[in-house]
Chain A
Amino acid sequence: MLSRRNPQLNANGELIHLLSIEGLPRAVITQILDTAGTFLSVSERDVKKVPLLRGKSVFNLFFENSTRTRTTFEIAAKRLSADVINLDIARSSTAKGESLLDTIANLSAMHADMFVVRHAESGAPYLIAQHVAPHVHVINAGDGRHAHPTQGLLDMYTIRHFKGDFTQLSVAIVGDIVHSRVARSDIHALTTLGVPDIRAVGPKTLVPGDLAGMGVRVCHDMAEGIRDADVIIMLRLQNERMSGAMLPSAGEYFKRFGLTADKLALAKPDAIVMHPGPINRGVEIDSSVADGRASVILPQVTFGIAVRMAVMSTIAGNEA
């Protein structure tokens, strides 16, 4: 039977896969953030490459399309000197009827060392991690509504960079919380790092009251939700939700929950505004805020490379 031990950690408590932030000890998260700090400077050197993963093959398996996330993983792996193979899986084997585990078995026979997996089904990366050889590592690049742990970690890196200490912060996460794997990963990370005040802000259809069980305060009013916040994380409003009758219209949503300069003024004067991208200007965030002084959306992208380098080098150096 499967052990009840966290499948991401080996017997010594070291990270061997990154599947979810849930259940990761604070020390492991902090170590990744510290390591990312070292890698941040690598991207500013004349030679933007270090040899830690030289000779290793990283397979990007995106069963769900995401050019940007795939690219950031590709850049991170290449700056660690790995060979990167991008598989357009949505249009290949699966379309021919091959099962997920058969795909993995075939790629393992090509001597893959690491799989970066995005999948529409929650839990797919767990399934893969349970079937790979002990020296092979798996990173979850987003699975269904479940988790997007590297986004969660890069958000924590960003918050630590601009705010330093987690234990005094008020963090508001605004938007489609219920469908968001980013929100879920952020909430687990913020909780583990000791943030005392986490607010989930949005309409009742997207922020159900039972989220309070995750240790967050649910706010259906934007003003209440972002008042005196140190950090505001805006989520992308997924257009497909609009047709599902969960929202009246994009215009109505923007009026109530879109982040404008007026609403931002309710937060702390030095508040930062984050967004996992891609942003929908005029839907969840006003251009003046997205491009404004409080916005750290582009630094997030830069930090994201360093954090992914940190995750890859950490798990690659640990044995199952």
Chain B
Amino acid sequence: MTQTLNLDAEALYAALRDGVRRLLAERPDAALVGIWSGGAWLAGRLQADLGLPGEAGTITSALHRDDFGERGMATGAGATKLPFAIEGRHIVLVDDVLFTGRTIRAVVNELYDFGRPASVALAVLVDRGGRQLPIEPAFAAARVALAPGQRLRLVQTEGGRLTFDVKERT
């Protein structure tokens, strides 16, 4: 039906790792920050695979979402944990799927609550199009076109392997 069924998350991860390595080469002191939840798994794994010291940060969009009025308080949306200073730091945000850009807008606001970063770049596994805000990734391992009603989500299986889950939005 769509090509999403052919998305091999592990193969895309290898491409993301190479892409993030290049981004870090341009910004040697950059810190990785994964967007909860899929992006946080990716950032944690990248931190280890790229031999970066310390822990990757985790960030949630829950407190800056623009659909609070319609959907209420996000529950179980994790907590922001940034084990380093944001002020003056180059930041590479990591997420699994980039869609409308609204989550990225919210986490950039969240990031600024902790200080003024030197720069913020975005690396994603899949860019599925459909942007509603002027946001572009510095690196995307794959670009696919999905119908707006389809929901693409990264899932971590037991043993830590990554796969994609596609659902029709209800």
Contact = CB atoms under 8 A, between A and B. Distances in A.
Interface of A: 14, 31, 34-35, 37-38, 41-42, 45-47, 49-52, 313-314, 316-318
Interface stretch (B12-20, B40-48, B110-118): B110-118
A240 to B, nearest CB: 39
B72 A14 contact: yes
Given A41-B80, A42-B63, A52-B63, A318 B114 contact: no
Given A35-B73, A45-B114, A50-B113, A317 B62 contact: no
Interface in B88-115: 109, 112-115
Contacts of B112: 47
Contacts of B73: 35, 52, 313-314, 316-317
Nearest to A317: B72
17 contacts: A34-B75, A34-B76, A35-B73, A37-B79, A38-B60, A38-B79, A45-B114, A46-B113, A49-B113, A50-B63, A50-B64, A50-B113, A51-B64, A51-B109, A313-B73, A314-B73, A317-B68
User: Interface on chain B toward A: helix, strand, loop, or mixed SS?
Assistant: loop
Given A34-B76, A35-B73, A37-B79, A46 B68 contact: no
B114 A46 contact: yes
Interface of B: 60, 62-64, 68-69, 71-73, 75-77, 79-80, 109, 112-115
A49 B113 CA distance: 8
Nearest to B67: A317
Most buried by A among B63, B68, B80: B63
A153 to B, nearest CB: 15
Given A42-B63, A50-B113, A314-B72, 14 more contacts: A14-B72, A34-B75, A35-B75, A38-B62, A38-B79, A42-B113, A45-B114, A46-B114, A52-B68, A313-B68, A313-B73, A316-B72, A317-B71, A317-B72
A42 to B, nearest CB: 7
A313 B72 CA distance: 8
